[in-house]
Amino acid sequence: MRGLPLHWKIVIGMALGILFGLLMTLFSCGKELVNDWIAPFGVIFIRLLKLIAIPLIFTSLVKGISDLKDISSFKHIGIRTVILYISTTIIAITIGLLLVNTIQPGEGMSRETVEQLTVTYASDETITSNIRAAITHEPKPLDFLVDMVPDNIFTAFGNNSLMLQVIFFSIIFGICMLLISHDKARPVSLLIDGLNEIILKMVNLIMQIAPFAVFALLAQIIANTDNMEILVKLLNYGMTVLLGLIAMIAFYVIVVYFYTGRSPKWFLSGIAPAQLLGFSTSSSAATLPVTMERVTDHLGVDNEVSSFVLPVGATVNMDGTSLYQAVAAVFIAQALHIPLDFGDQLTIVLTALLASIGSAAVPGAGMVMLVIVLESIGIPADKLAIGIALIFAIDRPLDMCRTVINITGDAMVSVVVGKSLGKLHPSDTPDQLNR
């Protein structure tokens, strides 16, 4: 075990966690045992990752920007990053809409199944709180711009859901370091460098327990899964989402291959530990420290690029979430026999794109944003709870899968931006080139 690469250790932890969770379902006290004695270790691991997420974003962004030679270098990285993130998100939403309109997984859904799901989840506080959170705040077109500007940076630093505000402050901070004289900025630069090294060392230490934490997280999920009949009935919907996510993976590796000449094996093996961790935690933000380490050290993207592209991507680039929202919105409309015209589907594209920018990189955030998308296409308020209940049963495993896509998309954009700026270096991963 000691000589195995990290991603294989995580795979083993995942497999053992699933087997252990299944075993515990055979005992009446199994669920309680897992929740009381196993699950807390997974929670501790996620908390450790979240603990260092904001300090890592701040130090890496400020360091990445302040290390640039001038403000024009920042402009080149920033423009490329934003264009690529918006483009991949639109592609993801389009793929989702094409698949769900072709496969039509919601057609033929029996009213009995819908009613059963409604009865089961209508009183679920998770669903009702998500709907209240979205409805009580009527979104305006430029809300995402307002929300990214903090009125108190200490409040932003103390709340992981406000990472976009931390990113905004960090970018302004780094730019101002470029605009003042080098002598005056040097003491702060040295402090940031030291803090960044300390945070990265913390990442290395925390990752030593990743395989055990993944075991605990998946054991808890499996042990708490019930109502398998409903899960089977929703299989078509889940498979449609998964097919779209697989298509996005294919799109990423094709872009990497044709633009950089690097093989799919090089790209996927380099980012695999971050993908597996994202699958287990369902959080791009919690996985960010590992994503940065893999992209920089194993994919060879210069730290100057990855320290800007990845923290921004963890907050604003949600390809998997956007694809899921497109599929889920149309699926719910199909199941509830609500027709959607071309204008409605175009509205889904625009709303899902804006929602992905403001979506927090934490588990379950996509569900809240889905309510906004459903409202934008005119789903009646009294149908929202039914629609959310309809997909809630399998949202957790799909949340895990779409987080993998979010992380992979961030890595792909980092590689492409790095290559375009001549900052993609040879890495220590075998089979770098497919030539």
At 10, is the secondary structure helix, strand, or coil? helix
DSSP 56-84: HHHHHHHHHHHTSSSHHHHHHHHHHHHHH
Confidence of residue 55 (pLDDT cuts 50, 70, 90): confident
Nearest to 153 by CA among 164, 166, 163: 166
DSSP 207-272: HTTHHHHHHHHHHHHHHT---HHHHHHTHHHHHHHHHHHHHHHHHHHHHHHHHH-B-HHHHHHHHH
Sequence spans of domains, the chain: 6-420
Cα→Cα distances 324→22, 108, 395, Å:
27, 20, 10
Helix or strand run (H / E) with residue 284: helix 284-297
Token pair listed for 251: 């799109």
Nearest to 231 by CA among 403, 119, 391, 15: 391
At 301, is the secondary structure helix, strand, or coil? strand
Looking at the DSSP bridge assignments, the partners of residue 262 are: 433
Radius of gyration of the chain from its Cα atoms, rounded to whole angstroms = 22
| Runs of H (alpha helix) within 122-234 | 125-135, 143-147, 153-157, 163-179, 182-207, 210-223, 228-233
Nearest to 332 by CA among 117, 137, 122: 117
For 322-340, the pLDDT digits (tens) are: 898 899 889 888 887 788 8
In the predicted model, what is the mean pLDDT of residues 398-405?
88
Looking at the DSSP bridge assignments, the partners of residue 301 are: 424
How many residues are recorded in the chain? 435
In the predicted model, what is the mean pLDDT of residues 395-401?
81
Confidence of residue 209 (pLDDT cuts 50, 70, 90): confident
Q: Residue 433 carries which DSSP code?
A: B
In the predicted model, what is the mean pLDDT of residues 171-198?
89
Nearest to 397 by CA among 313, 320, 303: 320
Q: Look at the domain 6-420 and name its fold.
A: Proton glutamate symport protein (1.10.3860)
In this prediction, residue 333 carries a pLDDT of 86
In this prediction, residue 57 carries a pLDDT of 75
Token pair listed for 64: 């990445």
Greatest distance between any 2 Cα atoms in the chain: 72
- Confidence check: pLDDT of 274 > 50: yes
267 and 415 Cβ atoms separated by less than 8 Å: yes
Query: Which position has the token pair 């690029």?
Result: 305
Candidate from 269-283, 284-298, 371-385 with smallest mean pLDDT:
371-385
Query: Which position has the token pair 């809300």?
Result: 143
Distance of alpha carbon 242 from alpha carbon 260, whole angstroms: 27
Q: What is the pTM of this model?
A: 0.74
- Confidence check: pLDDT of 95 > 80: yes
